[in-house]
């Protein structure tokens, strides 16, 4: 199965997402800021990135801009508790597949990954 990169500075949230995806059989790497996510992408191949909007230093939009600059075709789903319509529009302009609002239901995460990477859903609950 494909590997997923989770870029989120909230370690509890990213660890929870990691468990959800590992339960589904995905390999998962977590990064806690944009620079760490970019470094992980230099050494690994990811099939999907879930990226928080607000992180220390750079935002998820900065990550999307960098991916666009290097012509990366890795699908990105932005996740945020605080994004407004302008942020959502900018994320979509930069190539994000979607902007999901926190809290994101487990089923919605799994469904999104399944659409992009293939797979199936097991059970429904919140993170």
Total number of domains constituting the chain? 1
- In-domain check, residue 62: yes
pLDDT surpasses 80 at 109: yes
Q: Which long-range contacts (CB under 8 A, 24 or more apart) does 36-41 make?
A: 36/7, 37/5, 37/7, 37/63, 38/63, 38/66, 40/5, 41/5, 41/72, 41/74
- In-domain check, residue 124: no
- In-domain check, residue 108: yes
- Give residue 119's pLDDT band: very low, low, confident or very high (50, 70, 90): low
pTM of the shown model: 0.90
pLDDT digits (tens, 9 = 90+) for 23-63: 999 999 999 999 999 999 999 999 999 999 999 999 999 99
| pLDDT score of 118 | 78
Q: Rounded to the nearest 5 degrees, what angle is found at the Cα of 81, between the Cα atoms of 86 and 35? A: 85
pLDDT digits (tens, 9 = 90+) for 52-95: 999 999 999 999 999 999 888 999 999 998 878 999 999 999 99
Q: What range does the domain containing 24 cover?
A: 3-117
- Give residue 122's pLDDT band: very low, low, confident or very high (50, 70, 90): very low
- In-domain check, residue 104: yes
CATH number assigned to the domain comprising residue 64 = 3.40.50.2300
Provide the terminal-to-terminal Cα distance of the chain, rounded to the nearest Å.
Answer: 22
Beta-bridge partners for 101: 80
């Amino acid at each position: 199965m494909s590997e997923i990169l989770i870029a989120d500075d909230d370690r509890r949230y990213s660890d929870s997402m990691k468990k959800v995806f590992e339960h589904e059989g995905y390999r998962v790497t977590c990064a806690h800021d944009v620079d760490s996510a970019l470094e992980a992408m230099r050494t690994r191949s990811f099939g999907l990135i879930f990226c928080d909007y607000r992180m220390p230093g750079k935002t998820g939009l900065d990550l999307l801009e960098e991916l666009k600059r290097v012509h990366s075709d890795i699908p990105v789903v932005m996740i945020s508790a605080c994004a407004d319509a302008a942020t959502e529009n900018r994320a979509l302009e930069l190539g994000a597949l979607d902007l999901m609002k926190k809290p994101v239901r487990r089923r919605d995460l799994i469904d999104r990954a399944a659409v992009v990477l293939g797979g199936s859903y097991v059970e429904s609950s919140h993170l």
